[in-house]
Structure 1
Amino acid sequence: MTTATQEKTSATKLLAQRETLRFCTAGSVDDGKSTFVGRLLHDTKSVLSDQLESVKRTSADRGFEGLDLSLLVDGLRAEREQGITIDVAYRYFATDRRTFILADTPGHVQYTRNTVTGVSTSQVVVLLVDARHGVVEQTRRHLSVAALLGVRTVVLAVNKIDLVGYSKETFDAIRDDFEQLAATLGVADPHVVPISALKGDNVVTRSENLPWYEGPTVLELLETIPVSTGRANELDFRFPIQYVIREHASDYRGYAGQVAAGTVHVGDTVALPEGRTSTVVGIDTSDGEVVAATAGDSVVLRLADEIDLVRGELISSTNRPEERRSFAATVVGLTEKSLRAGQLLKVRYGTALVRGRIAEITRTLDIDGIHDVDAPEEIALNDIAHVVVETQKPLPIDEYAARGAVGSFLLVDNASGNTLAAGLVGQRLR
């Protein structure tokens, strides 16, 4: 093998071993989010040549000086204007150090539910603010959603810094407001970067216009922030049964599903419903038997004892969660159909789907913390509310953790089967 071939093979292996970071962008309308995403894609050379040529032509036709990078992502905006509902647009790009999955969320207040969708799977949230306006209602709302969903790292990109003359004083005031809000909400790892997405300052390339800023660019942060799985593998073992596999000819019985949290090994004692226990005697995958499985792995567990288990039941570590018919939670309204106290619905927790109801709506939250409503009559679209949920049969309920690995649930309409709200067990913003 030649030296060049060896170097190429080594480079290919290194690229294949790159970590993947999932992050979400959010911000108010006209904060420059489309231009920011376009700049990130353009400056990391993640735009196809034909796309770039199209942007050049359209920019020139509109009399735009240079490239209007927002055109790279404006298809989503056009679809919204046509009344098409799109939850989140996902974009994929890579650098030499990492691959990225970017969840691009809407900026309008009425799309808070969509922001929840994007943030729920993200390890980092990048919030944009206009340097002329600073921290506004949507900034507080988006940061609150990030805190609610357990996101530890939030990057505030103070955009359009060129429109305030690259002012350090303006940046410092916005940074102080943001860091104070982040501390109040419990966001552990906040970062603040002055940028101009239009000019290219500090998005991918360091800016010569900001000599007073010595920190990293947004991309440098994204390339170096530790990739976290939400620590789901550090929790106690949880395995909601998705399907029971039986083969009578060979007397095979296995329980298929995805490990939601923790790790299980062949030989481990596991806890089952009704106080029973058994021993794991085999773990099967599509590639054959393995000796262990951890959070995120889709496997089939074989147990030593023949026990009649069904879809929706939980196999867990011996530190099994308490089975409850009532629990406090925080929910986010996802549809135009309001939720009311006493309303009958279905609760989807893990792979279980049981009848239930909202026993009590204790409070809907105003993000500013000024106009919270105690004991409201209903939960409307985009409302964030504290509730008490009751179920017809007991469920093994964990407190919300690890970005929904445990403790997350959905409230489903009885008649239509539509999802009405997403919930987090025991989560409180304040």
Structure 2
Amino acid sequence: MSELPQPCDDIRDLSLRAQEARGMLRVITCGSAGSGKSTLIERLAYEANGRLESRLGAMSANVAPPFAGASPHSAQRTGDQEAISPRSAERREARLGEGRLEDTAGIDDSATDLSHRFFATDRRQFIVADAPGEERHTRNTATGASTASLALVLIDARQGMQAQTRRHSVLCGLLGIRHVVVVVSQMERVAYSRARYEEIVAAYREFADQLITSDIHFLPVSARAGDNIAGTCQATMPWFEGPSLLDLLETVEGPSDIALSSLRFPVQYVNSPNLHFRGYCGTLAGGSLAVGQGVRVEPSGQRSRIARIVTDNGDLEKAEAGQSITLTLADDIAVGRGDVLVPGQCDVTSCTAFTADVIWLHEQAMAVGQEYELKAGGRHVVGRVTRIIYEIDIDTMTRQAADRLLPNGIGRCQVEVAEPLLLDSYSLSPQTGNFILIDRQTHLTLGGGMVVDTLSAGNIVWHEMAVNKRRRAERHRQKPSIVWFTGLSGSGKSSVANALERQLFGMGYSTYLLDGDNLRHGLCRDLGFGAADRRENIRRVGEVARLMVDAGLITLVSFISPFRDDRRLVRGMVEPDEFIEVYVNTPLAICEQRDPKGLYRRARAGDIKEFTGISSPYEAPLQAEAEIDTSVYDLEENVSQLIAALRRYRVI
């Protein structure tokens, strides 16, 4: 493997200033095989060198352009002449840093190797990982994405959306990538057709409504010709008014903000060269550390204080998240590899049970209840998946019931471990929120996971009850479900839900109705109407509804619930076929005309802030199981429609 060339002093100085100005940006490129990832990476590197050249006045002799005969920012092409393939150019690869998602145990080199490309402009430095596009190399994408802050999702303009496009996008979202740039590549192959580009964008937008990632950009490019890579191209795509790809990469927000502010220091290595020194080495994953600060060791619970913070450049008084340091403690206590230092006074504790999004990578399917070796940070414990809450169908983005995960399957699971682990939600702290599952006999890595939530008490486990939901459902002769009514205030949700329950009860079914206003008097009386409180309000109601479903009841819930993410949260609490969303699609004008509580009048007068439909948005369901309009049909007809829907979904 060839080494990166040593830059001249001017380029080194400029690169250091770039890193200080915008920070290092790690990028993962993903897409189906043949979508042009490698060509795009080489073109980006070449154009970036061109920008450095324009700043320095002369290209460093150490950097050889892979696109012979082309000039940076050029939009010219020479007929059908092919540019020199970047694969035939010199490949400068470097293994740069370890992935956040553990990826090394038991995987051969051919399966884990990722090609990395380093380059810089005068504004920023970049490390770009090129992951293979084949489905069997999904693990490579997961490994590369676990360290990236931005994903370039390539879609071949000729082929359009592919299954791997969906799979890679879902993986990037699960692995916490905030920024996605959808690159419609090889536009020259479709004669730079605006219609074809807009068709692909529309298809991806429809799919992206169901993704975790919210910051999505779209770009049409031709990597071979350099169109829209470093500059806009009026000659070929005058209809595109957005920034070039390199401009976007230079200006997008970097990974400067670390979400977890609380101290997390996973011990990676115990350094004890002699009797006079015992240091604990690692990277500060969250928060900060100062000499004299009190700390607690998890999972043992022992306490001490920081005596020294040691680095290659001397001792520090304080360290911040992201720094690699060695700590010494004031007390002689037992601390080993895999332990985690947390603040001395905090409520975080280790757990033995948690929920996680699992990516299964091995040819042999994952079985519920089977014991695996679970590696989190530096700790190895026995673990097992006790339940698959749901599996994600990549093609339809629906959640479906499953009792195992097949190769490249993605599912939300409940996991138990034999020994306590200090884990955080992956969205808050990737370093302390990931793990891998290893075969206990062959030591092959079978899958990886991202923690969603933990049970805070140290020894809480999930108990299987003798009388379970299935047996209760059999007693009631019905399928327990949540029937969730959503719509504007005054749309008629509560009236229809009340009438539906009356009808179901008269038919002999066991039901319960949860109404938003009623719960505000009790369970949620401590909550206000700000964004955080409204989300917590929905979460609490969802948990209550989930318990009632477990009790075997058909649970009707009437809430405005204006945001799709909140409703999606509740849908994920039960089995995929146990959530029936009813969109009460009564027009705003009718709701405002009814105004049964006088709320619209007060909102129009400015007395109520953040009122849904007036000063706060309502996000209508995209694929509700049922939709009614109380301004068109009377109460009896709406109830009849819903009874038909419940039969269609086999609730009754």
Same fold (TM over 0.5): yes
Match of 1:220 among 247, 269, 274: 247
CA distance in 1, matches of 2:40, 2:335: 50
Structural mapping, 1:129-168, within 5 Å: 129-168=155-194
Over the aligned positions, Cα root-mean-square deviation in angstroms equals: 3.2
The structure 2 residue matched to 1:354, chosen from 381, 386, 405, is 381
> 8 Å contact 1:261–1:406 — kept in the other structure?
no
- For 1:111 and 1:97, how far apart are their aligned partners in 2? 33
Are 1:414 and 2:430 matched, yes or no? no
Partner of 1:5: none
Partners of 1:294 and 1:320 in 2: CA distance: 21
Aligned counterparts of 2:332 and 2:427: Cα–Cα separation in 1: 32
| Partner of residue 313 from structure 1, selected from 311, 325, 339 | 339
Question: What residue in structure 2 maps to residue 65 of structure 1?
Answer: 81
| Equivalent in the alignment of 2:284 | 259
Cross-structure match for 1:13 = 13
SS in 1 for 2:408: coil
Give the letter for the 2:26 counterpart: R
Change over 3 Å in CA distance of 1:169–1:247 after alignment to 2:
closer
CA deviation after TM superposition for structure 1 residue 85, in Å: 3.8
Deviation at 1:26, TM superposition (A): 0.9
2:218 aligns to what?
192
Whole-Å Cα distance in 2 between the matches of residues 72 and 188 of structure 1?
Answer: 37
Tell me whether 1:40 sits opposite 2:50 in the alignment: no
The farther-off stretch of 285-294 and 143-152 is 285-294
**Residue number in structure 1 paired with 2:595:** none
After the TM superposition, which of the residue ranges 142-151 and 306-315 deviates more from structure 2? 306-315
SS at match of 2:413: strand
CA contact (8 A) 2:42 2:66 kept: no
Deviation, structure 1 residue 421:
1.0
Residue aligning to 1:333: 360
Aligned mate of 2:228, from 172, 188, 202: 202
Helix, strand or coil for the counterpart of 2:203?
A: helix
1:424 and 2:424 equivalent?
A: no
Are residues 1:270 and 2:295 paired?
yes
Q: What is the total number of aligned residue pairs between the two structures?
A: 407
| 1:26 corresponding residue in structure 2 | 30
What's the counterpart of residue 606 of structure 2?
A: none
Do 1:245 and 1:253's aligned partners in 2 also have CA atoms closer than 8 Å? yes
User: How many Å separate the matches in 1 of 2:259 and 2:279?
Assistant: 22
1:44–1:255 CA distance, 2 compared to 1 (3 A): closer
CA contact (8 A) 2:111 2:140 kept: no
- C-alpha distance in 2, partners of 1:327/1:260? 20
What is the one-letter code of the residue matched to 1:302? T
Deviations 1:279-301 (A, max 9, x none): 22221122221011222322222
State the shift of 1:267 in Å. Answer: 2.3
Offset at 1:119?
A: 1.0
SS of match in other structure, 2:210: helix
Q: Does 2:117 match 1:113?
A: no
Q: How far is the alpha carbon of 1:145 from its aligned partner?
A: 0.9
Cα offset for 1:11?
7.2
Question: After the TM superposition, which of the residue ranges 84-93 and 263-272 deviates more from structure 2?
Answer: 84-93
Query: In the alignment, which residue of structure 2 is the partner of 1:3?
Result: none
- Cα gap change, 1:402 to 1:93, in 2 (>3 Å): farther
Question: Amino acid of the residue matched to residue 143 of structure 2?
Answer: T
Alpha-carbon deviation of 1:272? Answer: 2.4
C-alpha deviation, 1:371, in angstroms: 6.6
2: distance between equivalents of 1:50 and 1:150?
A: 34
What is the rounded CA distance, in whole Å, between the counterparts of 1:50 and 1:43 in structure 2?
A: 9
Deviations 1:127-186 (A, max 9, x none): 111223433322221111111111110001112323333333332332233234334213
- Bigger Rg, which one: 2
- Contact 1:135 / 1:178 at 8 angstroms: preserved in 2? yes
**In 2, distance between residues paired with 1:73 and 1:144?**
32
Alignment partner, residue 127 of structure 1: 153
Match of 1:4 in 2: none
Q: Would the aligned equivalents of 1:25 and 1:105 in 2 still touch at CA under 8 Å?
A: yes
Aligned to 2:546: none
- TM-superposed CA distance for 1:411, in Å, is 1.0
1:310 & 1:86 partners in 2: Cα distance? 28
Does the 8 Å contact 2:376/2:432 carry over to 1? no
The answer for the alignment partner of 2:483 in structure 1 is: none
CA 371–212 in structure 1, closer or farther in 2 if over 3 Å, else same: closer
For 1:412 and 1:388, the matched residues in 2 are separated by 17
Paired amino acid for 1:18: A
Distance in 2 between the 1:131 and 1:54 partners?
26
Instruction: List alignment gaps of at least 5 residues for structure 1.
Output: 1-7, 56-62, 77-82
Which consecutive residues of structure 2, in runs of 5 or more, have no partner in the other structure?
A: 1-7, 51-61, 71-78, 93-108, 454-567, 573-652
2:17 counterpart letter in structure 1: Q
Q: How many Å separate the matches in 1 of 2:85 and 2:46?
A: 8
Q: Is the 8 A contact 1:233 1:294 kept in 2?
A: no
Match of 1:292 among 309, 318, 335: 318
Whole-angstrom CA distance in 2 between matches of 1:35 and 1:256? 40
Deviations 1:222-278 (A, max 9, x none): 11112214x33743111122333447653x443222212221111222222444432
Name the SS of the counterpart of 1:185 in structure 2. Answer: coil
> Do residues 102 (structure 1) and 92 (structure 2) align?
no
* 1:321–1:398 contact (8 Å) kept in structure 2: no
Please say if residues 38 and 72 of structure 1, whose CA atoms lie closer than 8 Å, have aligned partners that are also in contact. no
> Which deviations, in whole Å up to 9, do the C-alpha atoms of 1:169-222 show, x marking residues without a partner?
332332233234334213121111111223221022321221121211111111
Change (3 A) 1:50 1:201: closer
Deviation, structure 1 residue 330: 1.1
Distance 1:249 1:392, change over 3 A: closer
Q: 2:283 is aligned with what amino acid?
A: Q
Partner amino acid, structure 1, of 2:179: T
Distance 2:356 2:384 in 1: 13
Distance 1:197 1:74 in 2: 18
Identify if the C-alpha distance between structure 1 residues 383 and 357 changes in structure 2 by more than 3 Å, giving closer, same or farther. same
Report if aligned partners of 1:34, 1:69 keep a CA contact under 8 Å in 2. Answer: no
2:410 is aligned with 1:389: no
Residue-by-residue CA offset, 1:73-120 (whole Å, 9 max, x unaligned): 7989xxxxxx95454211122222222111001112222221111111
Q: Distance in 2 between matches of 1:324 and 1:84?
A: 35
Letter in 2 for 1:67: A
